[in-house]
Amino acid sequence: MTDSTPTATPERPAELPAQSPPVDPAATAAAKSPGHHGAAPAGRLSFWRGDSGEGARRNLGLIGVLVVLVVIGIATRPDLYGNSSWVWDNILTILKLASVVGVVTVGMTFVIIGGGIDLSVGAIVALSGVWATTLATQSYGAGGMIFTALAVGIGVGLVNGLLVSYGKLVPFIATLAMMVAARGLAAEISDKQTQVSSNSVINGIASTSPLGIPLLVYILAAVVIAGWVLLNRTTFGRRTVAVGGNPEAARLAGINVRRHTVLLYALSGLCCGIAAIMLTAQANSAQAAMANLYELDAIAAAIIGGTLLSGGRGTIVGSLLGVVIFSTITNLFAINGLSTEAQNMVKGGIIVAAVLIQQFQFRSFTQFLGRNRLTTT
């Protein structure tokens, strides 16, 4: 009798279902959109409704606010707006009024996008202007005055950055302390007196108007263009957005967050140095009390322009429009003989409204409309 050992037959592997090729989410979304025929208009619509078009939508909204302000001016003072030469001169007046704060706002925008805040910009402008108009500095001519203002601004900005990055101080506390210290140092240097600028080159900056446009407006345009290129077309700008959006993720991606933060505050100080020369040229003098509350104007303009206080998002063009809006409001109140107190109340209301709009997030509203549109179709 022979024992028969059963032979184990190997199990056949289960056949896997055929897998479909990966689907492009963008193509799927485009295919679901109503009226899609493989053409480009759907792409343009998705840009306008998505995150990429948020800056454009906000800037158009700010332009709409400017139009409303002009309409109010026409309605309240038709006698002035009926004069075309006065209108052109008034536009130049508004731009000239916005020039100094606009330069400061460019630096402030970078700091806020990077996740910080700088409450010392007004004090830095005052310190830079006072230091540049001392008798010792004026003896070196216009070049020495400009160099001193820029060096002082960058130096104070570096101190702010070091306190925030390596001293691990909260930006609000560090720059608040610098605001007090810089004002005190400016008062000590000037002996609480107004220092007159006797340099004709510096004083001529405010009175020179190439092609009928004030030189101060050209300086503002140059700073805005340089800031736009730096933020949107360089690695420095991309790193700024990354640091402000998520510092830990930026660090893991290889960005030196501390060093970059120091550079952001130095850039803000550089803008303050430029603004100090511009403001000194306008007044032909400098004092410790100059540029008072410029920090609030710069922060408000950046917020109005769409810069998030939490960091990670902002535009230079939006900040510029915010400055122009505030300058237009100031001009509107001036030509109607209204008080400064009422003007400040209106500005405060605009700031609160802008922050509430940021919290509401237009992007969520757009996505809500998009979901309803897909459901109905």
Longest dimension (CA), the chain: 127
Q: Which of 292-296, 322-326, 329-333, 357-361 has the lowest mean pLDDT?
A: 357-361
Query: Which residue has tokens 């100059």?
Result: 290
Has residue 35 got a pLDDT over 70? no
- What is the total residue count of the chain? 377
Q: Which of 273, 152, 220 is nearest to 228 (CA)?
A: 220
pLDDT at 37 over 50: no
Q: Is the confidence at residue 295, as pLDDT, over 70?
A: yes
Least confidently predicted of 16-20, 177-181, 188-192: 16-20
Most confident of 17-31, 98-112, 339-353: 98-112
Per-residue confidence (pLDDT) for residue 38, from 0 to 100:
45
Greater pLDDT, 25 or 314: 314
Is residue 59 predicted with pLDDT exceeding 90?
Answer: no
Averaged pLDDT of the chain: 84
Cβ atoms of residues 318 and 55 within 8 Å? yes
What is the model's pLDDT at position 351?
75
Mean pLDDT of 213-232: 96
Query: Residues 224-276: pLDDT tens digits?
Result: 999 999 999 999 999 999 999 999 999 999 999 999 999 999 999 999 999 99
Which residues, in sequence order, are CB contacts of 149 under 8 Å at separation 6+? 128, 129, 131, 132, 273, 274, 276, 277, 280
> What pLDDT is stored for residue 341 in this prediction?
80
How much is the average pLDDT of 188-203?
Answer: 93
Exposure class string for 44-79: b at 16+ Cβ within 10 A, else e: eebeebeeebbbeebbeebeebeeebeeebeeeeee
Q: What is the structure's pLDDT at 309?
A: 87
User: From residue 5, how far is each of 8, 9, 108, 152, 373 by CA, in Å?
Assistant: 9, 12, 86, 95, 69
Q: What is the pLDDT of residues 304-341, one digit of tens each?
A: 898 988 899 999 999 999 999 999 998 998 898 888 78
Task: Return the amino acid letter for 322.
Answer: G
What's the pTM value of the predicted model, to 2 decimals?
A: 0.81
